[in-house]
């Protein structure tokens, strides 16, 4: 099977653990992923979450690059809603200067202006039986007090997020050395200009992210693990908007999945037991909690409202033996025509997470 697999790491903090240990675990997992043949290792960016230490992809990437030698490393994704094009290009220019040709610059809209594509149309069914659940309405989550505080802390007072499409245009120009200010002033981002980084756009719908990725001829990553109801809309929207570029002559899509693998299904389900409770913290606006153990998850008393809040994410997590999970990944690949797949796995114990990636890699390479 020739479809490459990428690791997406949030740098999760387990209950009873620390951010320092979570970082050490992630660097160790990156070394293991390199050994196991994973093509890429990406870090997500999240803020004000007690159970997630991945707040600065560029910093963690620098640490991980020094601990690995060949695996591609990347951001999945830099949240452009509270950053400038220049700061992003300069950061990745610094990384590329010391570790040339190893970095993927994944760019996301998070924290920016709403795209205006909020219509709650029914989810499009997958033709091959892949589960496409009902849509989750993010409006209450995005309107939570924690998100308001986050926006205030991540931006300078009175600052407005730049239009996402314009921001991508500026990043492309700065990387190419063709940027000109409004009055025609020529500037050059050093380091950053001509950096050998691979650009990706990450998106959860067929809205602005998919359109921007397509019209610029960039690679696109769709988030089945975050928004499974809209993954087909996202990949179709990207392909419809795609225009060939110097970078790509055809669309290139990667699709994410949340996965837990063990030697037998019962063990896998026990390892995945904390996932629903962890997602509940994200969805109710309080933030990702330290990742629960199976015992802690079993002690939680679920309400029907709780279950409805996390149903789409729990129902679309691929949990089981290597063969069972690989079968589900094949369905995802076929339904989305994915060129690559992104695997995100969180368990309470680091050894179980490493083992999950190990079992999956062996099965995937065998097929």
Condensed to tens digits (0 to 9), the pLDDT of residues 81-128 reads 999 999 999 999 999 999 999 999 999 997 545 454 444 567 778 989
Residue of 68, 72, 66, 43 lying closest to 56 (CA atoms): 43
Distance from C-alpha of 19 to C-alpha of 33, rounded to nearest angstrom = 21
DSSP H or E stretch at residue 106: strand 103-108
Buried b (16+ CB within 10 A) or exposed e, 335-358: bbebbbbbbbbbbbebebbbbbbb
Dihedral over Cα of 311, 312, 317, 320: its sign = positive
Q: What is the pLDDT at residue 188? A: 97
Q: Helix, strand or coil for residue 7?
A: strand
Region of residue 225 (phi > 0: left; psi between -120 and 50: alpha; otherwise: beta): alpha
| DSSP structural state of residue 44 | -
Residue of 108, 107, 111 lying closest to 142 (CA atoms): 111
pLDDT lower than 50: segments of the chain: 112, 114, 116-119
Q: What's the pTM value of the predicted model, to 2 decimals? A: 0.96
Placement of tokens 């699709």 in the chain: 255
Q: What is the pLDDT at residue 117? A: 45
> What's the token pair of residue 44?
């997500």
Region of residue 361 (phi > 0: left; psi between -120 and 50: alpha; otherwise: beta): alpha
Q: What is the pLDDT at residue 120? A: 57
Residue of 125, 217, 124, 204 lying closest to 169 (CA atoms): 217
Domains of the chain in start order, with CATH, are 5-366 (3.20.20.30)
Q: What is the pLDDT at residue 118? A: 44
pLDDT tens figures, 310-359: 999 999 999 999 999 999 999 999 999 999 999 999 999 999 999 999 99
Q: Helix, strand or coil for residue 141?
A: helix
Q: What is the pLDDT at residue 113? A: 52
Q: What is the pLDDT at residue 139? A: 85
* Percent of all residues in the chain with a pLDDT value above 90, rounded to a whole number: 90
User: Please, are residues 26 and 4 in contact by the beta-carbon 8 Å criterion?
Assistant: no
């Amino acid at each position: 099977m020739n479809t490459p697999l990428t690791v997406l790491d949030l740098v999760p903090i387990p209950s009873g653990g620390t951010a320092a240990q979570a970082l050490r675990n992630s660097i160790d997992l990156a070394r293991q992923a390199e050994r196991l043949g994973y093509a890429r290792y990406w870090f997500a960016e999240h803020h004000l979450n007690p159970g997630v230490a991945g707040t600065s992809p560029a910093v963690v990437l620098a640490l991980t690059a020094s601990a690995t030698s060949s695996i591609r490393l990347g951001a999945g994704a830099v949240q452009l809603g509270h950053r400038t094009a220049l700061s992003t290009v300069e950061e990745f220019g610094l990384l590329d200067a010391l570790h040339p040709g190893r970095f993927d610059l994944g760019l996301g809209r998070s924290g920016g202006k709403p795209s205006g594509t909020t219509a709650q149309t029914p989810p499009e069914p997958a033709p091959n039986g892949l589960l496409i659940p009902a849509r989750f309405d993010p409006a209450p989550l995005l309107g939570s007090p924690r998100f308001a505080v986050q926006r205030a802390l991540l931006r300078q007072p009175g600052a407005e997020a730049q239009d996402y499409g314009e921001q991508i245009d500026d990043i492309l120009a700065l990387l190419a050395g063709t940027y000109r200010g409004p009055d025609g002033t020529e500037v050059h981002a050093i380091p950053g200009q001509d950096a050998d980084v691979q650009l990706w756009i990450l998106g959860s719908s067929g809205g602005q992210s998919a359109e921007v990725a397509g019209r610029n001829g960039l690679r696109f990553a769709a988030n089945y693990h975050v928004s499974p109801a809209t993954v087909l809309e996202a990949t179709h929207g990207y392909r419809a908007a795609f225009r060939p570029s110097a970078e790509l002559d055809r669309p290139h899509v990667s699709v994410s999945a949340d996965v837990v693998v063990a030697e037998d299904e019962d063990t896998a389900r026990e390892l995945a037991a904390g996932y629903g409770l962890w997602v509940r913290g994200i969805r109710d606006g309080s933030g990702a909690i330290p990742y629960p153990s199976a015992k802690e998850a079993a002690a939680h008393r679920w309400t029907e409202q709780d279950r409805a809040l996390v149903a789409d994410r729990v129902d679309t997590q691929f949990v089981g033996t290597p063969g069972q999970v690989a079968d589900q990944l094949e369905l995802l690949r076929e339904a989305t025509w994915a060129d690559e797949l992104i695997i995100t796995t969180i368990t309470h114990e680091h050894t179980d997470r490493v083992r999950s990636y190990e079992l999956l890699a062996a099965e995937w390479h065998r097929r």
